[in-house]
Structure 1
Amino acid sequence: MMEVYRLENSKVIVEFLDLGGCITKIVKKENGTNYVLSYYDSYQYKTNPYFLGATIGRLAGRTYPSRYYDYKRRKIELIPNEGRVHLHGGKDGFHLKNWVVSRTDRFEYTLSYSDKYSKHEKMDFQLIYKLENNIFFIIYKGKSDHPTVCNLTNHTYFNLNFDKSSSIENHLLKIDSSKIQLIDEESIPTGYYDEITSLKKNSGFNFSTIKKIKLGFELGTELSEFCSNGVDLAYVFEKDDNINVPRIHLISDNKENELKIYTNQESCVVYTLNKVFCPSIINDGNTIKKYDGITFEMQRKPNFINEDPEYLRKDYHSFIKYEIL
């Protein structure tokens, strides 16, 4: 069974499931627009092929080589689930776990899960979902007795149009100052980074000034082909302490709805639903199609365990703040 939970104040309605902590609604009450994509048939959350609204863990993003060394320098093999790659925590990731939900107060829930049966060291997690005025917070907390790996995010797809039959191609997007993590033909991070402004052939990926998302589509370049002719890249922020500056600013086609996203994380994977591989009905009965939504996965850099020598931690804390305008 899946239980539906609801947060509501005078500005915003948020609904989510205990399964995966999946966000199914973020509604701007002023005009009734649901900002997010969700399955029409809730049964699809049992498999959630598109990770709609889901909590992603233990390791967000793509990890390759699919292994790491634990605090005792033992080699821990991760199970690939996308070719050679370990993606979004694997086939048994946090998006399919039942979280224990408790109401903290009128505008806040705490979701708890103890990850004690996976390959990783045991770690206890809490998600805090809360509303303050027109802002929805997700706060992540993790605690372990031993240094371990952890990289959580949320995989909500946004479409700020009231009518979800319209794609996000004509949404306006701005991304805070950043460089991109380059990928190969398997979407595996290469370990190389480049300033967007220097990628003249790929200037469509530069959202440092606000512009239509579709200008980043079908660029006719190798990197664009690696991204399936959409956006599927990690934007690594130039300053990692700008927690009061919106990392993302998204505006609907008609400019009536806006979203600003803040975080304490170092990067954001931006993905524009470039691959449609599973027939699914979403929202009010529309069949899912390419570019129907865009997700902003605030996280540590994808593949950080193969780049960052300090990848093991006993304590984990991050937050994402969504301002509904």
Structure 2
Amino acid sequence: MSKLPDFEAWAVFAKVVECGSFSAAAQELNLSQSTVSKAVARLEAKMQTTLFQRTSRKLVLTESGQAVETYARKLLADGETLEAQLRDEVNQLQGKVRFSVPLSFGLREVAPLLPEFCRQYPHIELDMDLSDEQVDLIEGRFDFALRIARLDDSSMLAKRLCRVALLAVASPECVARYGIPAHPKDLAAYPALVYSNAKNADHWSFRHHRQGAYTQTVKAGIRANTADVFLPLLLSGCGVTLIPEFLVCREIREGRLLTLLDDWTLEPISLYLLAPPNPLRPKRVQVLMDFLYAALRQASWAR
């Protein structure tokens, strides 16, 4: 009869890869460094190959180590998730959920929803990372992320919540100064507020139902890596920008900002919920994902 796989050694190997050293893995696992080293050595002996090249400064995976790294990481993740799921079923929903949200969107739309979630699930600890950077969910140990984007091919599980309209906007004072644009080329007269994290940030692409597509290169007066900065600048008449509707819907309703080129459309972006492809997701993570999914789909700007 064949022996079972050495699951413990595989899990220890995955943790060493994740932490980058035997000592860091031992600390993370609350084991002695010799126990960690022996587990990896046991695995290497069983596989009859070397998994790490050991130098005085760092560990480097061998070709064999690289070949099994993904499987070992999945084994560890599945085991951790399964245990967490079982604990959740026995006890109250508790523990930490770590998630990433775009800065402006998190402040404006997500943060106001969280008090109700905390009332419903008082033992779940929320760790919300606010950043417009496209974070690596696995590297950053995130349970999930909300992203507003035209999603590229991704190895993550992606669930689309809604479309988010992009609008060209400026203040009435700015329009009075530079004129009402009838065509995207007229935006060349305006100073532009440019969101620097966007692809082709200086090239604004519009489409007209009769005239077709047109891309205008704008002259940036101010660049910023978060769109929330643009609102006071817009209201002060500093220029024109392309901005998600949720950031300016109130100001448009009140007449403090004007939408431009209404006969032209901008390709919409979408709000996605992204998660690592792990079928054994802890319940505490799933309840937050479900809560945000339901709440955000009902927003006035959701299309």
Shorter-chain TM-score category? under 0.3
Higher helix fraction: Structure 1 or Structure 2? 2
Calculate the TM-score normalised by the size of structure 2.
0.24
Structure possessing the higher radius of gyration over alpha carbons: 2
Higher strand fraction: Structure 1 or Structure 2? 1
Calculate the TM-score normalised by the size of structure 1.
0.23
Structure with the bigger RCO (C-alpha within 8 Å, sep 6+) is: 2
